[in-house]
Chains A and B, each alone.
Chain A
Amino acid sequence: MYRYDEYDQTLVDERVRQFRGQVARRLAGELTEDEFKPLRLMNGLYLQLHAYMLRVAIPYGLLSAAQMRRLAHIARRYDRGYGHFTTRQNIQYNWPKLEDTPDILAELASVEMHAIQTSGNSFRNTTTDQYAGVAADEIEDPRVYCEIIRQWSTLHPEFSFLPRKFKIAVTGAPNDRAAVRLHDIGLIMRRGDAGETGFEVIVGGGQGRTPFVGPTIREFLPKKHLLSYLEAIMRVYNQLGRRDNLFKARIKILVHEAGAEKVTEMVEEEWRHIKDGALDLPAEEVERIRAHFAPPPYETLAAAQPAFEEKKRADGAFATWADTNLAAHKVPGYAIVNLSLKPVGGIPGDATADQMDAVADLAEHYSFGEIRVTHEQNLVLADVRRTDLHVLWRKLRDIGLATPNLGLVSDIIACPGLDYCGLANARSIPVAQRIGNRFADLKRQHDIGELKIKISGCINACGHHHVGHIGILGLERKGEEYYQITLGGSADQDAAIGKIIGPAFSSEDVVDAVETVVNTYVELRQNGERFIDTYRRVGKEPFKERLYAAA
């Protein structure tokens, strides 16, 4: 993984010092809360319902064991013993004290981490495929470009006061595991006519109150132009993005109102002036960064692992887990292991300090000391020998991270909702927990198959409900929580925004409603269809009939 050099380290150290000064000025009353707000937001510090919340950047979701241990230490020492992994591959602490935050940032800096730009109207953490570098379907490792973007977008002098926050996602594979079409900018690695690699550039996707699947504005951008092209997009957006209305300030609204063609034209015109200039990274810098992502020293192993197959035959629980939570690795004899942060009845994405420490140990023993965080709020050990899987599985079970539910009905994404968030209409976490309990029977979950439920506590859509196969949106009416259900959303290469199925359900009824939807699918499905396939075939009517038949 990328390791800081003296420059990278200097920047985060200076940043800690700067923030310490800002907090001191705030505590001394030299800064009003209004003046302090944009400064703390540049460092990931939010004011929530009950306390401050600190969001720490995990660049493109990649962590070393040492970093994970430091996150555990921070959870223990400055918070209440746990942290929350988010859909943006970051981690949040819900209970830090303002006066502690400079120390927390110093702890982070000591392991090459920071909270820079994890909030505020500037570039946010660039996200990517959690299987980057090891996926069998990958054209090229996208993390090299994520790191290039991370550096370029850090404290960018021109783009630190954008109309609104800005999120970039990159994938190196045609199967999109990073929801790139739902970001302000999405980049998909493609091959050009001569076999060279470059990016398809997508602009103006997003969720929130006006969800859009982003249009492609350039089919192929040679890699060397990446930063100049991004800078051209940003310059157009910084000047023309709406600043009169917070809800219309994202680039998706500019793209929607001006039209993708017009935006493309403006971007290309701006780009004409700056391409082939100072923003072309020197080849040796790209190579320097690429070298950090060189494959670890894999052993040469046979693709077939009889011992592993034998264990599967002998141990049904292990087999279920292996069939569900593993993904294909490009190197023979290795597997990608998903650690579920969705135990039945638990809080999606939460991990205790002890779990974090244990995962760090396991990563060191079994996966070259690295861990990834997924946008579906799980963890990944990406490089495990198949022969180690059984032992690893037993150890994961001991720490509660072996729930075999990846991609299944209880692998739910949920935002913090009314339990933490000041903008919420309704709670999300308890709904996720109740759905998890309703479908606690793992056999049944496996029978139902791939099904993505996503829950947001308000229209800001932090829980990705628009792109859930089943989306659940919290509403509030006369002090009561209600939940609107959408069907047919998808965040992958066939990205789609879900359709509202009908009137909202009370908190009491929403779990029944989800179960009715699931049962309807089970009755309608044909020859191995997944939920989303059946929905696409039959449309929403059959579901609607069943849901509202009684009314």
Chain B
Amino acid sequence: MPLLKDGVLVDDPWVTVDDGTQLPMDGPAMVSLERWQAHRDELLGRNAPLGIRLKSDQSPALIADDLDRFAVVALEFPVFRDGRAYSYARLLRERYGYRGEVRAVGEVLRDQFLFMLRCGFDAFEVRDENAAGQWREAVSEISVVYQPAADSRTPVWALRHRRSAAE
């Protein structure tokens, strides 16, 4: 699956390891919440980066105390309509102060990029090889934001008064 980071397609170093299968000896590995909860010590004993992949009914509150163990938290969109992960991403960034990669996986579509970016996602597993071009369009087509979120865009209500204060 192509991975989009900072607007460019990159090689994905991460391997998503299914619950039934053996963990690779080394290299970055992404596991389920269930595996993490059942085999925590084994996973921490590995000498390689660890990531976790949460389903859309698994809140990051469940791993809030362990976040510094994970280099990646992947949040799943089983269908694009299931918008729970938007809240999860904001909680990760704004409530728990998570600085690692927050990755969108599952049904990740071009027209959701901007919302995802604003909620704190910074990596996107996409199905389309042309995603980089789409990305550039999608994140720049609306320049005005009306609300604070997990990104650095300034809501217009702040811009309005910053400007009039400067006048």
Chain B residue, CB-CB nearest to A121: B81
Would A35 and B147 be within 8 Å (CB), given that A161-B86, A282-B157, A288-B160 are in contact? no
Would A162 and B161 be within 8 Å (CB), given that A10-B144, A17-B141, A239-B59 are in contact? no
Interface residue? A298 (CB, 8 A) = no
Interface residue? B4 (CB, 8 A) = no
Would A157 and B146 be within 8 Å (CB), given that A18-B141, A285-B161 are in contact? no
Cα A284 to Cα B159 in complex, Å, equals 12
Which of A148-156, A204-212, A375-383, A457-465 lies at the binding interface?
Answer: A148-156
Q: Is the CB of B156 within 8 A of A7?
A: yes
Cα A7 to Cα B148 in complex, Å, equals 15
Select B142's contact among A11, A35, A159, A284, beta carbons within 8 Å. A11
Cα A282 to Cα B156 in complex, Å, equals 11
Chain A residue, CB-CB nearest to B115: A157
Chain B residues with Cβ under 8 A from A38's Cβ? Answer: 80-81, 111
Interface residue? B82 (CB, 8 A) = yes
**Cβ contacts B148-167/A at 8 Å (1 or 0 each):** 11000000111111001000
Cα A269 to Cα B67 in complex, Å, equals 22
Select B157's contact among A151, A154, A158, A162, beta carbons within 8 Å. A151
**Cβ contacts B92-115/A at 8 Å (1 or 0 each):** 000100000000000001011011
Cα A11 to Cα B156 in complex, Å, equals 11
Interface residue? B131 (CB, 8 A) = no
Q: Is the CB of B148 within 8 A of A278?
A: yes
Interface residue? A235 (CB, 8 A) = yes
Chain A residues with Cβ under 8 A from B142's Cβ? Answer: 11, 14-15, 18, 155
Chain A residues with Cβ under 8 A from B146's Cβ? Answer: 11, 151-152, 154-156
Cα A279 to Cα B81 in complex, Å, equals 26
> Which of B112, B156, B157 has the largest number of chain A CB atoms within 10 A?
B157
Interface residue? A193 (CB, 8 A) = no
Q: Is the CB of A14 within 8 A of B141?
A: yes
Interface residue? B16 (CB, 8 A) = no
Would A10 and B80 be within 8 Å (CB), given that A151-B157, A157-B115, A161-B86 are in contact? no
Cα A159 to Cα B90 in complex, Å, equals 11
Interface residue? A256 (CB, 8 A) = no
> Which of A151, A161, A273 has the largest number of chain B CB atoms within 10 A?
A161
Select A160's contact among B83, B95, B160, beta carbons within 8 Å. B83
Q: Is the CB of A7 within 8 A of B86?
A: no
**Cβ contacts A270-284/B at 8 Å (1 or 0 each):** 000100001101101
Interface residue? A319 (CB, 8 A) = no
Select A285's contact among B111, B144, B145, B157, beta carbons within 8 Å. B157
Chain B residues with Cβ under 8 A from A11's Cβ? Answer: 142-144, 146
B62 CB, nearest partner CB in chain A, Å = 12
Chain B residue, CB-CB nearest to A14: B142
Interface residue? A39 (CB, 8 A) = yes
Select B119's contact among A17, A157, A239, beta carbons within 8 Å. A157
Interface residue? A243 (CB, 8 A) = yes
Would A152 and B141 be within 8 Å (CB), given that A158-B119, A159-B86 are in contact? no
Select A279's contact among B83, B148, B160, beta carbons within 8 Å. B148
Number of A-B pairs, beta carbon distance below 8 Å: 101
Cα A344 to Cα B136 in complex, Å, equals 55
Chain B residues with Cβ under 8 A from A162's Cβ? Answer: 83
Select A157's contact among B118, B159, B160, beta carbons within 8 Å. B118
Select A14's contact among B81, B111, B143, B149, beta carbons within 8 Å. B143
Chain B residue, CB-CB nearest to A285: B157
Would A157 and B114 be within 8 Å (CB), given that A152-B147, A239-B59, A279-B148 are in contact? yes
| Segment 15-57 of A: residues with Cβ below 8 Å from B | 15, 17-18, 21-22, 35, 38-39
Cα A273 to Cα B87 in complex, Å, equals 14
A7 CB, nearest partner CB in chain B, Å = 4
Chain A residues with Cβ under 8 A from B119's Cβ? Answer: 157-158
Q: Is the CB of A238 within 8 A of B87?
A: yes
Interface residue? A5 (CB, 8 A) = yes
Chain A residues with Cβ under 8 A from B59's Cβ? Answer: 239
Interface residue? B84 (CB, 8 A) = yes
B98 CB, nearest partner CB in chain A, Å = 15
Cα A227 to Cα B146 in complex, Å, equals 12
Chain A residue, CB-CB nearest to B78: A243
Chain B residues with Cβ under 8 A from A159's Cβ? Answer: 83, 86
Q: Is the CB of A243 within 8 A of B82?
A: yes
Chain B residue, CB-CB nearest to A9: B144
A250 CB, nearest partner CB in chain B, Å = 15
Chain A residues with Cβ under 8 A from B141's Cβ? Answer: 14, 17-18, 21
Would A155 and B145 be within 8 Å (CB), given that A238-B87, A239-B87, A288-B160 are in contact? yes
Cα A152 to Cα B156 in complex, Å, equals 10
Cα A160 to Cα B161 in complex, Å, equals 27
Chain B residues with Cβ under 8 A from A152's Cβ? Answer: 146-147
Chain B residues with Cβ under 8 A from A156's Cβ? Answer: 146-147
| Segment 362-413 of A: residues with Cβ below 8 Å from B | none
B39 CB, nearest partner CB in chain A, Å = 27
| Segment 191-228 of A: residues with Cβ below 8 Å from B | 227
Sample 18 A-B pairs with CB under 8 A, ordered by A number. Answer: A7-B159, A7-B160, A8-B156, A18-B142, A35-B109, A151-B146, A152-B147, A157-B86, A157-B119, A157-B149, A158-B86, A159-B83, A160-B86, A161-B81, A162-B83, A238-B86, A284-B161, A288-B161
**8 further contact pairs, Cβ within 8 A, besides A121-B83, A157-B119, A282-B158:** A7-B159, A11-B143, A15-B142, A157-B116, A158-B90, A161-B81, A238-B87, A285-B157
**Leading 4 A-B pairs by shortest Cβ distance:** A161-B83, A157-B118, A278-B148, A11-B144
Q: Which residues of A contact B (CB under 8 A)?
A: 5, 7-8, 10-11, 14-15, 17-18, 21-22, 35, 38-39, 121, 151-152, 154-162, 227, 235, 238-239, 243, 273, 278-279, 281-282, 284-285, 288
